[in-house]
Structure 1
C-alpha cells in the first residue's frame, strides 16, 4: 500500500470531509496544514479570521490525535515556499499519495499546479455541492445570471437525498499532539466557538428554531434571524453538503418545494455555489477586474477622506454608520446591511467597489473571495447578474423598512440613542432643533448623489 496523507486547506473538519475520509481509508495517519501568514496578508485576510483559524487548527489537531492521526502544521510564509516544504514532508514521511480539497482562486490553483510533480495529488470538490462545470447552459457555458443557474442546479439535485460519509476510525489508538507555540493567537474571535459539539448545537438550533422564519426575519438586523454559520462555511468547519443533509432530515422535500419558506436559506447556499462557479469560469474575477467590461470606464472618485468616513461609520446616514461600526467592532455584518453600505459607497460616494471589497476582507470573520467579490460587484452594477445601475438603494427608506424603530441603530450609534424613532433614520433636522448628541453631518445629499451616480454610469 502506498503511504497517504491529507492536506488541509479551508476544509477544517473531520466529519463530512469526504477527501479526508478517503485518505484515511487509504492508510493516511498524517495530515498537514501550511500556515501562510505572508500570503494571507497579501490577500488582505482579517486578523479576526486568522484568529478563528488558529483556534480551529488547535481543536482539529486534538481531535485527529484522538483517532491516531497526527496534524503537522508547517510555517510556510507564502505559497511560493510550499512546493519545497511539501517535497521535504513527503520524503521524510515517505508519502506518495496526498489527498486534498480544491480551492478555486487563481493563486491557489497555481500553488496546486506547482505541487503536481512532487506527489500524486488527489483533489476533491469538498467545498461545493455541484462541481464547477456541471451546471451550465445548453451550449456548455457558465450561466451569467443567477436564476437560470439556480433552476439548472436544482434539476441536478431534485429527488436526491444527501448523506454525510461516516468517519472510519475509532479512538482505540490515540496519539499525542501539541499545538505550535508560534501561533499569534489574540482571542479576537473568542465569541465564536470552534468545538464540534457547540457548532452542532448552532446548526441544530438554526434548523429547528429559525429556518422556517428565516425568510420573514432575515432582513432585520436587530433580530437574530440569520444562521450565524458563515464564518464556519468560510473556513470549511462545516460544508454546504453537511448542512443540506441536515436540513433534509427535517424537510425531505426542501429541494422540490422552492416556494416554501424553508427553501429561502438553501437559496443562499446556491448563491454561494454560483459565485464559486463564476471564479472558475472567469479567473479574472480573482484579479480585480469588472465582470462587465463596459463599466471599466466608470469615472470613480478618489476621495480618501470620504472613504475613511465610510470605513469609520461617520457618513451621517445612521443605518450605514451602524452597519460599518458593527463590522469594525465584531468582524461580522448582517447581509442586508452589506448591500446597503456597498450601494452607498459605490453609488452615493461613487468610490471604486474594489476599495470596499478590500476593506471588507480586512475586517470580516467570514471573509471569502468569491462571495465577497460577487456581492460587491452586484452592488456596484459591474458584475454578473448585477442589479441595473439605475437602481440605487436609498439608505433612509432601507433604514425605515428594516430597522423601523431604530433598535439596531441605537446599539452601534449610541449618540442617537435618545432620538425618537420618527427621526432616527435621518436625524439632522431633529438634532438641529434639539441639539442632542454629537453626530456627523451627511457626507452627501441623497438626491444629488443619486443623480451624480446615474450620470457617471450612463457616461
Structure 2
C-alpha cells in the first residue's frame, strides 16, 4: 500500500464528532489524516471527571471510531500518566507514522491551555507544523471587548456585543471530511484504555445514547417539538422542556455552531427576536459562551478562586454532616433532595434545580460553594469546568453577574413554582408519593400518627437565610 504523501494527526479531546470539526476537517484537507485520542485517567481523577462522564467519552469514541472508519480515517488511542506527557506522546506517534503536522481544537481551562501551549512549542521546536482552532465556542475568547478594551464581567453586556458580532457574521459549520484513501493504519481497540472505570448502567446509557446520530436526533426532536415552548417550560423539571444536549456539548459530540444554526433554521434566521423559545435557547448558548470566555480572561476561576476577590473572606461553615445530607439528598427539603437524587441516579440535573440546590448549600447551609462545585463535577455526565464554576459562583454570589447576596432562593416557593403538582418530587422521592400536591413541598413532621420515612429539615429556611445575609453583609458593600 502506498504511503500518503502528507500525513497529519488530529488530536481529539472534547470534540468527538466528524461533522463541524474544524481541526479534523483541516487535517483531512491537507492530505491523509489520523485521529488520535490520549487517555489520561490520573488527570481525569485529579479534575474530578465523573465516572459516568468518562464512560460517555468511551461510548462516544466507539461510535466515532465507526464514523471515522467510513471515511478511512483511523482512530488511535494512546495512554499518558498525566497531561505533561501529551506533547512527547504525540511527537512519538507522528515519528512512528511519518506524520509531519498536528491539528487540534483549543480547550480553555488553565491546565488545558498550558498543555496545549507545551504541545505547540514541542512541535514547532521539532520543525513540524502545528495548527490550532476555535471549536467549543462561537467567538475566540477575549475577542468581544468593552469600550475600554477589557473583557466583559457582566453577561447582559457580553450578550449585546455577541449580538452585534452575529449580526455582522454568523459562524459557519464545517462539513465532514471527504473519504480518504486507505492509510493501512489500524484503529485502536478502546477497552484497555478505560478498564479502570465502571460502565454506566443500562438505564443511564438509554438516557444518554452515544454518537453523533443520537445527538442529532435529540436536537431535532427538541427543535421540532419543544423549542417553541422552551421559554415557558425550561424552568419546569417535571416536564421534558429542555434540550438535554449539555452532555453532547460537553463531550463535543455537538458543536455550539450546530445548535445555533438549528435554532436559526426554526426562527427565520433571527437570534434576538422572533420565537421566544428560540431566542431563550440561544441566550443559554451565549451564557455557556460567556463562562468559557471568563475562564480564559480570568484564569483564577479555574484555580478554585472566587471571581470576586472580596468574597474570599466569607466565613463559610464547617458542617460535614450538613454537607453529607445535601450530597445524599437527605436534607428534609423535598425539591433539593429530589434534585440530588436525580443527579446521583442519572448523572444529570435540571438547570433550575442546579441553582436551587447550589443556593441552598451556599446560602442556607453557608457551606463553601467549592464543596458543591466539586460534588457536581464528580457526578455530572455533562460536567464542564466553565459552566459548572460559573453556575456555582452565580448562586453563591461570588462570581460574575452574581446574584446579590441578599437574594436567597426559598426552595419551598421555588418548588411550588417549578413543580406545582409535585410530579418531579414523586419521581425521585417515592417515600413522599402518597402526599397531596400541597403537602409534598413541605411534608408534615413524623409523629405517632404519621410514620413518613422522610427526614425533618436540617435547617430553618428563614433563620439560615438571615445568617447568610449577615455573613455577606460583613464584607461591606460590593464594589
Tell me if both proteins adopt one fold, taking TM over 0.5 as the criterion.
yes
Q: Measure the CA separation in 1 of the matches of 2:146 and 2:170.
A: 24
What is the match of residue 439 of structure 1?
454
Secondary structure, counterpart of 2:442 in structure 1:
coil
Does residue 370 (structure 1) correspond to residue 386 (structure 2)? The answer is yes
1:67 touches 1:174 (CA, 8 Å); kept in 2? no
1:51 touches 1:186 (CA, 8 Å); kept in 2? yes
Aligned residue among 157, 175, 179 for 2:189: 179
Does residue 207 (structure 1) correspond to residue 218 (structure 2)? The answer is no
Q: Measure the CA separation in 2 of the matches of 1:108 and 1:342.
A: 26
What is the match of residue 125 of structure 1?
134
Secondary structure, counterpart of 1:126 in structure 2:
coil
2:42 touches 2:81 (CA, 8 Å); kept in 1? yes
Q: Measure the CA separation in 2 of the matches of 1:162 and 1:287.
A: 31
Secondary structure, counterpart of 1:29 in structure 2:
strand
What is the match of residue 109 of structure 1?
113
Does residue 240 (structure 1) correspond to residue 256 (structure 2)? The answer is yes
TM-score by length of 2: 0.92
Q: Measure the CA separation in 1 of the matches of 2:176 and 2:462.
A: 58
Secondary structure, counterpart of 2:271 in structure 1:
helix
2:77 touches 2:188 (CA, 8 Å); kept in 1? no
Q: Measure the CA separation in 2 of the matches of 1:31 and 1:386.
A: 41
Q: Tell me how far 1:438 sits from its aligned partner.
A: 1.0
Q: Measure the CA separation in 1 of the matches of 2:456 and 2:409.
A: 19
> What stretches of structure 1 of length at least 5 have no aligned partner?
none
How many residue pairs end up in the alignment? 458
**1:213-252 equivalent positions in 2, closer than 5 A:** 213-252=229-268
Secondary structure, counterpart of 1:4 in structure 2:
strand
What is the match of residue 85 of structure 1?
89
Distance 1:256 1:313, change over 3 A: closer
1:181-216 CA distances to partner (integer Å, 9 max, x unpaired)? 313361344121113322221111110111111111
2:394 touches 2:401 (CA, 8 Å); kept in 1? yes
1:250-276 CA distances to partner (integer Å, 9 max, x unpaired)? 223322417733210110000000000
What is the match of residue 380 of structure 1?
396
2:344 touches 2:379 (CA, 8 Å); kept in 1? yes
Does residue 306 (structure 1) correspond to residue 322 (structure 2)? The answer is yes
Distance 1:102 1:201, change over 3 A: same
Q: Measure the CA separation in 1 of the matches of 2:183 and 2:85.
A: 31
Aligned residue among 156, 163, 174 for 2:165: 156
Q: Measure the CA separation in 2 of the matches of 1:115 and 1:199.
A: 31
Bigger drift between 155-164 and 72-81 goes to 155-164
What is the match of residue 126 of structure 2?
none
TM-score by length of 1: 0.96
1:316-346 CA distances to partner (integer Å, 9 max, x unpaired)? 1000000001100110000000000000000
2:228 touches 2:275 (CA, 8 Å); kept in 1? no
What is the match of residue 55 of structure 1?
59
What is the match of residue 14 of structure 1?
18
Aligned residue among 443, 446, 450 for 2:465: 450
1:382-425 CA distances to partner (integer Å, 9 max, x unpaired)? 00110100000001000111111111111111111111111111
2:29 touches 2:177 (CA, 8 Å); kept in 1? yes
Bigger drift between 181-190 and 286-295 goes to 181-190
**1:310-459 equivalent positions in 2, closer than 5 A:** 310-429=326-445, 431-432=446-447, 434-459=449-474
Secondary structure, counterpart of 1:424 in structure 2:
helix
Q: Tell me how far 1:172 sits from its aligned partner.
A: 7.3
Q: Measure the CA separation in 2 of the matches of 1:248 and 1:223.
A: 24
Q: Measure the CA separation in 2 of the matches of 1:373 and 1:327.
A: 17
1:18 touches 1:126 (CA, 8 Å); kept in 2? yes
> What stretches of structure 2 of length at least 5 have no aligned partner?
124-128, 475-479
Q: Tell me how far 1:437 sits from its aligned partner.
A: 1.9
Secondary structure, counterpart of 2:407 in structure 1:
coil
Q: Tell me how far 1:365 sits from its aligned partner.
A: 0.5
Q: Measure the CA separation in 1 of the matches of 2:111 and 2:362.
A: 27
Bigger drift between 2-11 and 145-154 goes to 2-11
2:105 touches 2:135 (CA, 8 Å); kept in 1? yes
Secondary structure, counterpart of 1:262 in structure 2:
helix
Distance 1:434 1:253, change over 3 A: farther
Q: Measure the CA separation in 1 of the matches of 2:251 and 2:33.
A: 22
2:94 touches 2:100 (CA, 8 Å); kept in 1? yes
Distance 1:177 1:92, change over 3 A: closer
Q: Measure the CA separation in 2 of the matches of 1:14 and 1:125.
A: 16
Q: Measure the CA separation in 2 of the matches of 1:78 and 1:121.
A: 21
Distance 1:18 1:250, change over 3 A: same
1:66 touches 1:171 (CA, 8 Å); kept in 2? no
Q: Measure the CA separation in 2 of the matches of 1:79 and 1:340.
A: 35
**1:31-70 equivalent positions in 2, closer than 5 A:** 31-70=35-74
1:158 touches 1:256 (CA, 8 Å); kept in 2? no
Q: Measure the CA separation in 1 of the matches of 2:181 and 2:95.
A: 28
